[in-house]
Amino acid sequence: MMRSQPKLVMLPGMDGTGELFGPFLECLPNVQAQVIPLPQTGPQDYDSLASHVREQLPDDEFYLLAESFSGPIGAILAADATPGLRGVIFVATFLSIPSPLAVCIGRRLPLHRMMRLPFSSWTQRRLLLGSDVGDDFLQRFNAAVRTVPPNTLKARLKSLQQLHWRHEPAPIPSIYLQASDDYLVSPGKVQEIQQYFPNNRLMRIKGPHFLLQANPAACARTLLDTFAIWESRQRAALP
Protein backbone atom coordinates (compact mmCIF):
# COMPACT_ATOMS: atom_id res chain seq x y z
CA MET A 1 0.00 0.00 0.00
CA MET A 2 1.08 3.55 -0.72
CA ARG A 3 1.39 5.92 2.24
CA SER A 4 -0.97 8.91 2.61
CA GLN A 5 1.71 11.16 1.16
CA PRO A 6 2.75 9.51 -2.12
CA LYS A 7 6.43 9.54 -2.95
CA LEU A 8 7.16 10.91 -6.40
CA VAL A 9 10.46 10.33 -8.19
CA MET A 10 11.06 12.89 -10.96
CA LEU A 11 13.33 12.61 -13.99
CA PRO A 12 14.11 15.85 -15.86
CA GLY A 13 14.16 16.61 -19.57
CA MET A 14 17.09 17.25 -21.91
CA ASP A 15 18.92 19.61 -19.54
CA GLY A 16 18.98 16.82 -16.98
CA THR A 17 19.51 19.15 -14.03
CA GLY A 18 16.16 18.94 -12.28
CA GLU A 19 16.44 22.67 -11.57
CA LEU A 20 13.34 23.49 -13.63
CA PHE A 21 10.79 21.56 -11.56
CA GLY A 22 10.41 24.39 -9.03
CA PRO A 23 7.07 25.88 -10.20
CA PHE A 24 5.51 22.41 -10.42
CA LEU A 25 6.75 21.27 -7.00
CA GLU A 26 5.34 24.43 -5.41
CA CYS A 27 1.90 23.13 -6.45
CA LEU A 28 2.51 19.78 -4.71
CA PRO A 29 3.27 20.77 -1.09
CA ASN A 30 2.03 17.45 0.35
CA VAL A 31 3.90 15.18 -2.04
CA GLN A 32 7.29 13.76 -1.12
CA ALA A 33 9.36 14.46 -4.22
CA GLN A 34 12.78 13.12 -5.11
CA VAL A 35 14.41 14.63 -8.18
CA ILE A 36 17.11 12.47 -9.78
CA PRO A 37 19.34 14.58 -12.06
CA LEU A 38 20.96 12.94 -15.05
CA PRO A 39 24.76 12.58 -14.99
CA GLN A 40 26.64 15.41 -16.69
CA THR A 41 29.51 13.14 -17.70
CA GLY A 42 29.86 9.58 -18.91
CA PRO A 43 27.58 7.56 -21.20
CA GLN A 44 24.29 9.20 -22.16
CA ASP A 45 22.59 6.29 -23.89
CA TYR A 46 19.22 5.33 -22.46
CA ASP A 47 20.25 2.00 -20.96
CA SER A 48 23.14 3.64 -19.09
CA LEU A 49 20.91 6.46 -17.88
CA ALA A 50 18.30 3.95 -16.69
CA SER A 51 21.00 2.15 -14.71
CA HIS A 52 22.09 5.47 -13.18
CA VAL A 53 18.53 6.22 -12.09
CA ARG A 54 17.85 2.69 -10.84
CA GLU A 55 20.71 2.97 -8.34
CA GLN A 56 19.05 6.00 -6.71
CA LEU A 57 15.45 4.83 -6.50
CA PRO A 58 13.81 4.59 -3.06
CA ASP A 59 13.46 1.27 -1.28
CA ASP A 60 9.73 1.70 -0.68
CA GLU A 61 6.84 2.27 -3.10
CA PHE A 62 6.84 5.27 -5.41
CA TYR A 63 5.45 6.84 -8.54
CA LEU A 64 7.76 7.93 -11.35
CA LEU A 65 7.43 11.09 -13.43
CA ALA A 66 9.46 11.13 -16.65
CA GLU A 67 9.63 14.40 -18.55
CA SER A 68 10.45 14.76 -22.25
CA PHE A 69 13.93 13.29 -22.91
CA SER A 70 13.63 11.10 -19.80
CA GLY A 71 10.44 9.39 -20.97
CA PRO A 72 12.29 6.37 -22.35
CA ILE A 73 14.20 6.05 -19.06
CA GLY A 74 10.93 5.82 -17.18
CA ALA A 75 9.61 3.39 -19.76
CA ILE A 76 12.65 1.12 -19.37
CA LEU A 77 12.22 1.05 -15.59
CA ALA A 78 8.53 0.27 -15.96
CA ALA A 79 9.08 -2.43 -18.59
CA ASP A 80 11.67 -4.06 -16.32
CA ALA A 81 9.12 -4.27 -13.47
CA THR A 82 11.32 -2.20 -11.16
CA PRO A 83 10.54 -3.09 -7.52
CA GLY A 84 8.37 -0.52 -5.76
CA LEU A 85 7.27 1.26 -8.93
CA ARG A 86 3.47 1.68 -8.79
CA GLY A 87 2.73 4.02 -11.69
CA VAL A 88 4.36 6.21 -14.33
CA ILE A 89 3.58 9.78 -15.37
CA PHE A 90 4.81 10.46 -18.89
CA VAL A 91 5.06 14.18 -19.69
CA ALA A 92 5.43 15.47 -23.27
CA THR A 93 7.58 12.51 -24.20
CA PHE A 94 8.11 9.71 -26.70
CA LEU A 95 9.48 6.23 -27.39
CA SER A 96 10.97 7.08 -30.78
CA ILE A 97 12.29 10.22 -32.49
CA PRO A 98 9.85 12.89 -31.21
CA SER A 99 9.43 14.79 -34.48
CA PRO A 100 11.38 15.85 -37.58
CA LEU A 101 11.37 19.42 -36.23
CA ALA A 102 12.96 18.37 -32.94
CA VAL A 103 15.77 16.57 -34.75
CA CYS A 104 16.32 19.48 -37.13
CA ILE A 105 16.49 21.99 -34.29
CA GLY A 106 18.77 19.73 -32.28
CA ARG A 107 21.22 19.41 -35.16
CA ARG A 108 21.20 23.00 -36.36
CA LEU A 109 20.33 24.92 -33.21
CA PRO A 110 21.23 23.04 -30.01
CA LEU A 111 20.27 24.64 -26.72
CA HIS A 112 23.67 26.13 -25.90
CA ARG A 113 23.75 27.86 -29.31
CA MET A 114 20.14 28.97 -29.13
CA MET A 115 20.92 30.98 -26.00
CA ARG A 116 23.49 33.06 -27.90
CA LEU A 117 21.13 34.19 -30.65
CA PRO A 118 20.07 37.88 -30.71
CA PHE A 119 16.42 36.83 -30.40
CA SER A 120 17.03 33.84 -28.12
CA SER A 121 14.33 34.83 -25.61
CA TRP A 122 11.69 34.95 -28.35
CA THR A 123 12.86 31.62 -29.78
CA GLN A 124 12.81 29.89 -26.40
CA ARG A 125 9.36 31.21 -25.60
CA ARG A 126 8.03 30.25 -29.02
CA LEU A 127 9.45 26.73 -29.22
CA LEU A 128 9.82 25.61 -25.61
CA LEU A 129 8.44 27.64 -22.75
CA GLY A 130 5.36 29.49 -23.97
CA SER A 131 4.70 33.18 -24.47
CA ASP A 132 3.52 33.72 -20.89
CA VAL A 133 6.71 32.57 -19.19
CA GLY A 134 8.27 35.24 -17.00
CA ASP A 135 11.76 36.65 -17.33
CA ASP A 136 12.77 35.10 -13.99
CA PHE A 137 12.05 31.58 -15.17
CA LEU A 138 13.65 32.27 -18.54
CA GLN A 139 16.84 33.23 -16.72
CA ARG A 140 16.59 30.08 -14.59
CA PHE A 141 16.18 27.98 -17.73
CA ASN A 142 19.27 29.49 -19.35
CA ALA A 143 21.29 29.13 -16.16
CA ALA A 144 20.37 25.44 -15.90
CA VAL A 145 21.32 24.72 -19.51
CA ARG A 146 24.66 26.51 -19.11
CA THR A 147 25.67 24.08 -16.38
CA VAL A 148 25.49 21.13 -18.80
CA PRO A 149 28.56 20.50 -20.99
CA PRO A 150 27.74 20.94 -24.71
CA ASN A 151 29.18 17.50 -25.44
CA THR A 152 26.72 15.99 -22.97
CA LEU A 153 23.78 17.69 -24.67
CA LYS A 154 25.12 16.47 -28.01
CA ALA A 155 25.38 12.90 -26.69
CA ARG A 156 21.79 13.03 -25.41
CA LEU A 157 20.59 14.25 -28.78
CA LYS A 158 22.39 11.33 -30.41
CA SER A 159 20.67 8.92 -28.02
CA LEU A 160 17.33 10.45 -28.92
CA GLN A 161 18.02 10.08 -32.63
CA GLN A 162 18.96 6.41 -32.20
CA LEU A 163 15.97 5.55 -30.04
CA HIS A 164 14.16 2.32 -30.95
CA TRP A 165 11.82 0.77 -28.40
CA ARG A 166 12.28 -3.00 -28.12
CA HIS A 167 10.57 -3.92 -24.85
CA GLU A 168 7.40 -5.93 -24.37
CA PRO A 169 4.15 -4.21 -23.30
CA ALA A 170 3.88 -3.59 -19.55
CA PRO A 171 0.62 -3.58 -17.53
CA ILE A 172 1.70 -0.91 -15.02
CA PRO A 173 -0.74 2.04 -14.63
CA SER A 174 0.40 5.18 -16.41
CA ILE A 175 -0.81 8.56 -17.56
CA TYR A 176 0.41 10.73 -20.42
CA LEU A 177 0.31 14.52 -19.99
CA GLN A 178 0.20 15.93 -23.50
CA ALA A 179 0.97 19.59 -24.13
CA SER A 180 -1.60 21.22 -26.41
CA ASP A 181 0.99 23.45 -28.09
CA ASP A 182 4.01 21.17 -28.29
CA TYR A 183 6.15 21.96 -31.34
CA LEU A 184 8.78 19.33 -30.52
CA VAL A 185 6.79 16.14 -29.86
CA SER A 186 4.32 14.96 -32.49
CA PRO A 187 0.80 14.29 -31.13
CA GLY A 188 0.93 10.70 -32.39
CA LYS A 189 3.73 9.81 -29.97
CA VAL A 190 1.15 9.14 -27.29
CA GLN A 191 -0.08 6.20 -29.36
CA GLU A 192 3.35 4.58 -29.03
CA ILE A 193 3.17 4.98 -25.28
CA GLN A 194 -0.29 3.42 -25.19
CA GLN A 195 0.80 0.56 -27.43
CA TYR A 196 3.45 -0.54 -24.95
CA PHE A 197 1.65 0.69 -21.83
CA PRO A 198 -1.98 -0.24 -22.50
CA ASN A 199 -3.11 0.73 -18.99
CA ASN A 200 -2.55 4.38 -19.92
CA ARG A 201 -4.78 7.43 -19.69
CA LEU A 202 -4.25 10.49 -21.90
CA MET A 203 -4.72 13.97 -20.46
CA ARG A 204 -4.29 16.96 -22.77
CA ILE A 205 -3.30 20.12 -20.95
CA LYS A 206 -2.95 23.65 -22.28
CA GLY A 207 0.67 24.60 -22.67
CA PRO A 208 3.96 24.30 -24.62
CA HIS A 209 6.54 21.53 -24.54
CA PHE A 210 7.75 22.59 -21.08
CA LEU A 211 4.30 21.82 -19.72
CA LEU A 212 5.11 21.39 -16.03
CA GLN A 213 6.79 24.79 -16.01
CA ALA A 214 4.21 26.68 -18.08
CA ASN A 215 1.03 25.25 -16.50
CA PRO A 216 2.10 23.76 -13.17
CA ALA A 217 -1.24 24.12 -11.39
CA ALA A 218 -3.21 22.17 -14.00
CA CYS A 219 -0.53 19.47 -14.14
CA ALA A 220 -0.46 19.18 -10.35
CA ARG A 221 -4.25 18.84 -10.13
CA THR A 222 -4.18 16.11 -12.76
CA LEU A 223 -1.40 14.32 -10.92
CA LEU A 224 -3.19 14.38 -7.57
CA ASP A 225 -6.41 13.14 -9.16
CA THR A 226 -4.43 10.33 -10.78
CA PHE A 227 -2.79 9.37 -7.49
CA ALA A 228 -6.24 9.15 -5.89
CA ILE A 229 -7.52 6.89 -8.67
CA TRP A 230 -4.49 4.61 -8.55
CA GLU A 231 -4.54 4.29 -4.78
CA SER A 232 -8.28 3.58 -4.78
CA ARG A 233 -7.72 0.77 -7.25
CA GLN A 234 -4.87 -0.61 -5.16
CA ARG A 235 -7.07 -0.65 -2.05
CA ALA A 236 -9.87 -2.35 -3.97
CA ALA A 237 -7.47 -5.06 -5.10
CA LEU A 238 -6.47 -5.96 -1.54
CA PRO A 239 -7.91 -9.24 -0.20
* 176 domain-assigned: yes
Query: By residue range, what is the domain housing residue 175?
Result: 7-237
* 32 domain-assigned: yes
* 1 domain-assigned: no
- 129 and 210 Cβ atoms separated by less than 8 Å: yes
Q: Sorting pLDDT into bands at 50, 70 and 90, what band is 211?
A: very high
Indicate whether 102 pLDDT > 90: no
* 23 domain-assigned: yes
* 100 domain-assigned: yes
* 145 domain-assigned: yes
Q: Sorting pLDDT into bands at 50, 70 and 90, what band is 110?
A: low
Cα→Cα distances 140→22, 41, 87, 181, Å: 10, 22, 30, 22
Q: Supply the CATH number for residue 22's domain.
A: 3.40.50.1820
* 2 domain-assigned: no
* 147 domain-assigned: yes
Total structural domains within the chain? 1
- 71 and 78 Cβ atoms separated by less than 8 Å: no
Q: How does pLDDT run across 120-132, given as a tens digit for each residue?
A: 665 666 566 766 7
**In terms of pTM, does the model score above 0.85?**
yes
